[in-house]
Chains A and B, each alone.
Chain A
Amino acid sequence: MTNLLSNFCLASAAPGAATLSPILLGPSEAQLILALPIIGLLFCTLCAIFRVKSKAPAFFTVACLAGAFALVVRLYLNKTGTPVITSGFEWFFLEWGDGKGQRLVANFSLYLDSLTILWMLFVTGLATLIALYASEYMAGDLGTGYCRFFAAFNLFVFSMSCLVMGDNLLLLFLGWEGVGLCSYLLIGYFYKKPSAVEAAKKAFIMNRIGDLGLLMGIGLTFVHFGSIEYRDIFHAAQPYIEAAKAGKYNEIPFLVQLIPVLLAIGAFGKSAQIPLYVWLPDAMEGPTPVSALIHAATMVTAGVYLVARMYPLFLLSEYALPLVAWVGALTALLAATIGMAQFDIKRIMAYSTVSQLGYMFAGLGGLSSTGAAFHVVTHAFFKALLFLACGAIMHGFAGQLDLRKLSGIRRLKGWGIVSFGMLVGCLNLSGFPFTSGFFSKDMLIGSEFLTPGMAPIGWILLFTAGLTAYYTFRVFFRVIVGPLHYEPGDELHSAHDEHGHGGENHNEHAHVQDDHQHHDHGHGGHFHPHAPGWAINTVLLTLSVLSLSASALNFLHLPNQPHIEGGIVPELVMESSAAYESPYARHEAHEGTGDGGHEGPDAHGTPSYVPTAIALDDPHAHAGTFLGWNPHAVMFYVSGAVGFIGIFVAFVLHYVGRTTAATAKADALLPMLGPIPGWAQHKWYVDEFYKYSIYWPLIILANLCNLFDKLIIDGIVRLFGAIPRWIGNTIRPTQSGELHGYAAGMAAGVAVLLFIVFILTLR
């Protein structure tokens, strides 16, 4: 593998904008972006203290986040293309000498470049929308729970902003763990439900494993580059980048090449990649707005952000990008296969999230940071939309999420917008032509075929795209269309105002395999699903429109910038440290010079640092092809066709001739596949594997330690305590308490003394 990759792995790498020295500024209004969620947090805390029972926390949060969004938009409009660092107050400052690498600095300073702004745009924008949605969704919990929810929500946005905007790795780490904490608090929001608590714990601990990798990466970064501030790192990495350009990887110390691998481990944890992905599906125990914001749109893309942010370092390593690519591709495939066999629609969405994150990592690893970032943005919109639509269904049907118990809900009054939103989301996710998901996915897969050695990953992703289309539309054809049928979920038991709160006798949410039919049709007769209200509908409609119009991003371009295929999002990425100069692009530029001195942005809009995408037009480049064609040229048709096939299969198996909610044609086909669907339904037993290979050995070890501590270590201590006692017990009988005994002893003593004196005088 290394052989194949050695020539691509950046034969050349030059972070475009990162080489520009950043502009240093004092505190600016960008700091307000951090302050606004904190204000929201304080307000929610006060509401909790004074037991406010209104929607005030929600609307205050929406206002704060909208303010933050407005500030980010302002930043975007004012951006110059050069990174800006605004200094904040000092957090870490340690010094042990004057030289380079002898001070550890990590302040609350912000690094604002186009990548940051891109991320912040969708983070704050989506957070605002989802907070609005949650104001209605969580209304059943008015009171302290409501305040708690929005407090954690604000804290999340704050942490995410730190993560994205921080100018050093340690502030990123603060945000990194901060979003982990909020994820923990929000997954465990229904804290009376053991499964929710379990899931929250699992998420936190799984993330911590990745975080250790990240922490070690930070340590190694400091030791090797003498700083953990981005600008210093990028500056200090410059000589290595030169070496990497020349393909002299042996001149780059192994430990420097190890840094991105360690950082990638952190990214795998946060973004739910193999082997640390198992927490994300369980995280669906949290309220749906949380799933939509944290576990679909924003937090899980932090890993992608980390890789994109540290792209210059990733380019230094022979191993890091292939690792990232393969892990991403395999995760995409694995999660898609699991998603196909699930029945809980929220879980299907969760696995599709894991799968799509895999796409993004594969894109990063396949040298398409632009495609990956584009996919992050489009995915954020349509996946949030899908989750919120699922949430609306869950909300309206008392927690019902089993696709075998819901059917044709578009026929119900008031569910039109939900059905529409679902359709839009599904089309995007399955890459239906001219939706935004279609463009971003094409760009991504196309790059894989372009990059030498990455073709297998391209094929995997292409195949996965088909699976994605299938399982996505499986949900759509079963739940939204078809004959009308529904059963309420198990939350019907609890009083409505305790919605989702899980009373004390509340069972676990065993949606998936819940075959005991305690909600029969009789129940269904009494049950009236309540259609979503204005807030949910508004948000769903907005997101639908945004998801659809996000495809326009593909055709928008930055003013005064060379146009790049993929539109505005890739152009933003190219301005940032995540940019790199493709070897093939350089090749072309060189030829262009030879031909007629066209260099830089020319009539065709081809800049000197064009990304892989356009460079492939050049037949001389040693770029890969897709069965002999230019991947980007044909990928539109190929992936469109693959998507159609997936949708068609789903249509045939799950819509045609289906008369009940519970069964479809697909069920008849299942036995033909033998045990495989069952394995997939049990998530390939990965959880069980972890349980028996890691959890149980550790528990046994812990118990052994406990015993060792009690018996051996404390035993030795007690042994020392026991020695004097033993001596005392041994000589105790000599103390008979009888006068004559003592007297005899004395006499004997005297006799012995006399005898000794006698012997001594004898000489």
Chain B
Amino acid sequence: MQNAATPISAAAAGFQIQDWWLVLLMAVPLAFSFIIAFGAPHRARATALFGTLVAAALTTVVLFQFNWGNGAAFQFQNRIAWLPSLGISFSMGVDSVAMLLIALTGLLGPLCVLASWTAITDRVRTYYAWLLALQAAMVGVFIARDLILFYICFEFTLIPMYVLISLYGSTNRKRAATTFFLYTFTGSMIALAGLVYVAWVNAGLPKDAFEGAGTWTFDIAVLQQAAQGSLTMAQQSLVLLALMAGFAVKVPLFPVHTWLPLAHTEAPTAGSVILAGVLLKLGTYGIYRFALPFCTGAFIQYAPFLAVLCIIGILYGGLICWVQTDMKKLVAYSSVAHLGFCVLGLVALNTAGIQGSILYMINHGLSTGALFLCVGFMYERYHTRSMKEVGGLASKMPIWATFMVFFVMASVGLPGLNGFISEFLCIFGTFQASDTWGKGVWGSSGAPVPGATPGNLGPWYALIAGLGVIVAAMYLLIMVGKVVFGPLREPGAHGDAHGSHGESHDSPGHLPADLTAREITALMPLAIACLVFGLYPMPLFDALKGPVGETVAMVQDVRENGLNNGAAKTASVIDAREGTR
């Protein structure tokens, strides 16, 4: 976090491959996107698979190159001038949080192509080209160390997603795509205003305040320093409001979530997977990367308010899931509930909470992405997502049923699978984070309370959010009970065509009753990841230790020294310089 502002000139040091890893990560999918767009249609999906596999391989290489021991430092930094007069540059670098999310993106890429293998038959080139462009944009968001680069990538994700939904979605796709686009776009415009405001404040600072002050710059590290040093509480609150307008819509938090079920329901399977897997995380990542460091003071102050929104989302989303009959809608609303936990952990502002929150981003991507894949595979066979029409598929599709139950359990938060790790930490972090522990509440006066952390949430928040765990079990098991178990029910229209399955469908893929090897290949990595991260999350804990520790230290600094600390520091620097003059 310190002084990423110092320009790293790749040219000066000669060509070094580690400077270009990140560019490559973004360029490879983009290049393949162009190759697909201008190549032959019949080769599009193979090229896409190849492209995503290359990207995944590259991601793996970068994962191994990354120095996990120093996860808090931004690595592979590179900066290419873009608009020097405005201080805008292609500045990039990743810490372990970004690295993990890039890994998630890289993993989901090939799986999405596999999931679309037979489902997409028209305009194949357009589809896969946009899919890869989307991947490039998502990687761009995570590697950006420049606000404008971040924002461009952040917004650019809308366009591929818009195309994917509006061209390849189901019946109501136009409306869904438009709503998705306008809703998130409106939010992000306000967020842009907030981000530019922070840059503007920096440009107005005295030059001596710190390195990088006094000129227009969009370097994230510099702006973070500027914001912490110079924004008053009122300014921070406004910036927080603006940023949350953009990021909360993306997450989505409670009152601004209605685009999500619509978009998820209408999107093609791969679209849903990407949407749930990575796009929603752009919101939480944005909160973690910008809202929290830029306006720490306001964030601390408004944490209970945000937490209440999260908890409403958890319970309200869960209850709505309960009465859904559309499986995709159910899983979509469950995302509202799940991401409520994710943001709740973040606003707990302690180690357990923030760790849990970041892990939640990854784990939710794995388990919910997989659930969408499962639902998509079923949809491809029965052309319905209604739980009223299909049921008891365990007898017909035992492999599918096994995966479905597995991922539902991961999503429910069963210990031993990945969902539990993050969910437990989020609830636990919320539970700990209270200043009232050991201070006369319920006769706890005087007793030492070693396990508490400062904060303004506490056990009540945790308890009420914990009810969401019960609700999650209810709605997901009801879905499993209807769709996977029970007597076999299939849509009436296809009732006669059981023997010759292909005839009743227009898909050319003549899918067998149960999952094909291709589909199993798409689900297997996710299943393995769910199990491994559930039983052995230590690598993730270790990787996130650095950045989470720094974030908590930053929050602690503001808690102890108040907001004026940064400004005071700035002033003292200026005084010292004037004195020497």
Report the bound CA distance from A431 to B90 in whole Å: 81
Evaluate contact between B459 and A212: CB separation under 8 angstroms: no
Q: Is B288's CB within 8 Å of the partner chain A?
A: no
Q: Which of B161-169, B191-199, B447-455 contacts A (4 or more CB under 8 A)?
A: B447-455
User: Does A219 contact B444, Cβ atoms closer than 8 Å?
Assistant: no
A706 and B450 in contact, given A93-B541, A197-B485, A209-B470 (Cβ under 8 angstroms): no
Is A174 on the interface with B (CB-CB < 8 A)? yes
Q: How far is the CA of A208 from the CA of B468 in the complex (A)?
A: 11
| B398 close to A222 (CB less than 8 A) | no
Q: Determine whether the beta carbon of B449 is less than 8 Å from that of A223.
A: yes
**Assembled-state Cα–Cα distance A256/B451 (Å):** 13
B467 within 8 A of A: yes
- In the complex, A181 Cα to B445 Cα: how many Å? 40
CB–CB B538/A90 < 8 A:
yes
CA–CA, A95 to B450, complex, Å?
Answer: 13
Interface residues on A, range: 35 or more
Docked complex Cα distance between A198 and B487 (Å): 12
CB distance from B431 to the nearest CB of A (A): 4
Shortest Cβ distance from residue A263 to the other chain B in the assembled complex, whole angstroms: 15
When C-beta atoms are compared, the residue in chain A nearest to B466 turns out to be A212
CB of A181 within 8 A of CB of B409, answer yes
Q: CA–CA, A176 to B424, complex, Å?
A: 14
**Pair A717/B258 contact, Cβ less than 8 Å:** yes
Provided the pairs A212-B466, A219-B428, A717-B258 are in contact, do residues A253 and B444 lie with their beta carbons within 8 angstroms?
yes
A194 and B537 contacting across the interface, CB-CB below 8 Å: no
A188 interface hit (Cβ, 8 Å): yes
Q: Are B442 and A225 in contact (CB under 8 A)?
A: no
Pick the most buried of B409, B421, B467: most chain A CB atoms within 10 A of its CB: B409
* B451 pairs with A222, CB closer than 8 A: yes
Which chain A positions have C-beta within 8 A of B453? 96
Given A102, A222, A254, A705, which contacts B319 in the complex, CB threshold below 8 Å? Answer: A705
Task: Say yes or no: B451 contacts A188, CB within 8 Å.
Answer: no
Given the complex of chains A and B, what is the CA–CA distance between A184 and B476 in angstroms?
13
Surface stretch bound by B, among A566-574, A676-684, A696-704: A696-704
Please tell me which one of the listed residues B352, B414, B442 contacts residue A104 in the complex, with CB atoms under 8 A apart: B352
Q: A255-B444, A504-B488 are in contact. Are A226 and B450 (CB under 8 A)?
A: yes
Q: A96-B549, A254-B442 known; A223 and B320 CB under 8 Å?
A: no
CA distance A227 to B450 in the complex (A): 9
Q: How many residues of B contact A (CB 8 A)?
A: 71
Is A192 an interface residue when CB atoms closer than 8 A count as contact? yes
Contacts A192-B486, A717-B258; is A703 near B415 (CB within 8 Å)?
no
Are A255 and B552 within 8 A (Cβ)?
A: no
B182 within 8 A of A: yes
Name the contact of B486 in the complex, choosing from A176, A197, A253, A721 (C-beta under 8 A): A197
Does B304 sit at the interface, judged by CB under 8 A?
no
Per the bound structure, the CA–CA distance linking A224 and B481 in Å amounts to 40
Chain B contacts for A170, CB-based, 8 A: 415, 424
CA distance A713 to B256 in the complex (A): 8
Task: Check A99 for interface membership: any CB of B closer than 8 A.
Answer: yes
Tell me whether A178 and B552 are in contact (CB under 8 A).
no
Out of A192, A204, A220, A703, name the residue touching B473 (CB < 8 Å): A204
Which residues of chain B (365-419) have a CB below 8 Å from chain A? 392, 394-395, 398, 405, 409, 414-416
Q: A188-B485, A216-B462, A225-B450 are in contact. Are A91 and B536 (CB under 8 A)?
A: yes
With A and B bound together, what is the CA distance between A596 and B484 in angstroms? Answer: 73
Task: Kindly provide the distance from the CB of B131 to the nearest chain A CB, expressed in whole angstroms.
Answer: 28
A-B contact count (CB 8 A): 179
B:458-483 near A, CB below 8 Å: 459, 462-463, 466-467, 469-470, 473-474, 477-478, 481
- Contact of A94 with B392 in the complex, beta carbons under 8 Å: no
Q: What mask results when residues 92 to 122 of chain A are scored 1 for a CB within 8 Å of chain B, else 0?
A: 1111100111101000000000000000000
Does B17 belong to the interface (CB within 8 Å)?
no
Q: A212-B466, A222-B451, A225-B451 are in contact. Are A96 and B538 (CB under 8 A)?
A: no
- Chain A nearest CB, measured from B330 CB (Å): 11
Q: Which residues of B contact A546 (CB under 8 A)?
A: none
B351 proximal to A (CB < 8 A): yes
- Tell me whether B159 is interfacial, beta carbon within 8 Å: no
Task: Judge if B183 is at the interface, Cβ distance under 8 Å.
Answer: yes
For A218, the closest partner residue in chain B by CB is B428
B535 within 8 A of A: yes
Are the C-beta atoms of A101 and B469 separated by less than 8 Å? Answer: no
The residue of chain A having its C-beta at the shortest distance from the C-beta of B552 within the complex is A96
Are A178 and B416 CB-contacts (below 8 A) given A191-B394, A254-B442?
yes
How far apart sit A94 and B424, CA to CA, in the bound complex (Å)? 13
Collect the chain B residues with CB atoms within 8 Å of residue A174's CB: 415-416, 420
A173 proximity list for chain B (CB < 8 A): 415
Please tell me if the beta carbons of B322 and A702 are within 8 angstroms of each other in the complex.
Answer: yes
Q: Is the CB of B452 within 8 A of A223?
A: yes
Would A208 and B459 count as touching, CB distance under 8 A?
Answer: no
Evaluate contact between B549 and A706: CB separation under 8 angstroms: no
Report yes or no: A699 in contact with B323, Cβ–Cβ below 8 A. yes
Partner of B352, one of A94, A188, A220: A94
Q: B432 on the interface (CB 8 Å rule)?
A: yes
Contact of B316 with A by CB under 8 A: yes
A7 interfacial by beta-carbon distance below 8 Å? no
Measured CA separation A195–B451 after assembly (Å)? 45
Are A100 and B459 closer than 8 Å at their CB atoms? no
Nearest CB of chain A from residue B399's CB, rounded to whole Å: 9
Contact A701:B541 (CB < 8 A) given known A201-B478, A205-B473, A226-B451: no
CA–CA, A181 and B424, complex, Å: 17
Cα distance A90–B409 in the bound complex, in angstroms: 22
- Least Cβ–Cβ distance between B524 and chain A, in angstroms: 12
Does A714 interact with chain B (Cβ within 8 Å)? yes
Contact call B427/A219, Cβ cutoff below 8 A: yes
Given A174-B416, A212-B470, does the pair A101, B450 have CB atoms closer than 8 Å? Answer: yes
Which of B425, B443, B469, B474 is A253 in contact with, Cβ under 8 Å?
A: B443
Q: Which of B320, B350, B395, B486 interacts with A96 by CB under 8 Å?
A: B350
A94: chain B residues within 8 A (beta carbon): 351-352, 355, 425, 541
Complex Cα spacing A94 to B183, Å: 38
Beta-carbon contacts under 8 Å, B239-296 to A: 255, 257-259
Alpha-carbon gap, A181 to B413, bound state (A): 11
Name the residue of chain B whose CB is nearest to the CB of A210: B470
Contact with B along A249-265 (1 / 0, CB 8 A): 01001111010000000
Question: Which residue of A has the minimal Cβ distance to B556?
Answer: A96
Given contacts A212-B466, A212-B469, contact A224 B449 (CB under 8 A): yes
Chain B CB within 10 A, most for which of A89, A178, A223: A223
B427 touches A215 (CB 8 A): yes
Q: Which residues from chain A contact B450 at a C-beta distance below 8 Å? A: 99-102, 223-226
The closest CB in chain B to the CB of A240 belongs to B447
Q: Are B447 and A256 in contact (CB under 8 A)?
A: yes
Given A89-B536, A94-B541: A713 touches B319 (CB 8 Å cut-off): no
Known: A197-B481, A198-B481. A223 touches B323 (CB 8 A): no
| B437 contacts A by Cβ under 8 Å | yes
Within 117-152 of A, Cβ neighbours of B (below 8 Å) are at 144
A91 to B420, CA, bound (A): 12
**Interchain Cβ contacts under 8 Å between A and B, 9 examples:** A90-B538, A95-B545, A96-B549, A96-B552, A200-B481, A216-B462, A219-B432, A253-B442, A256-B447
Chain A to chain B: the 10 pairs with minimum beta-carbon distance, closest first:
A101-B450, A226-B450, A96-B351, A174-B415, A101-B451, A223-B451, A702-B319, A191-B485, A219-B431, A254-B443
With A93-B538, A702-B323 given, name 20 new contacts (CB 8 A). Answer: A96-B350, A100-B450, A104-B352, A170-B424, A177-B416, A184-B477, A185-B405, A192-B392, A192-B487, A201-B481, A205-B473, A205-B474, A216-B459, A219-B462, A253-B443, A255-B442, A698-B319, A701-B319, A703-B323, A717-B259
Interface residues in chain B, defined as those with a beta carbon under 8 Å from any beta carbon in chain A: 179, 182-183, 255, 257-259, 316, 319-320, 322-324, 350-352, 355, 392, 394-395, 398, 405, 409, 414-416, 420-421, 424-425, 427-428, 431-432, 437, 441-445, 447, 449-453, 459, 462-463, 466-467, 469-470, 473-474, 477-478, 481, 484-488, 535-538, 541, 545, 549, 552
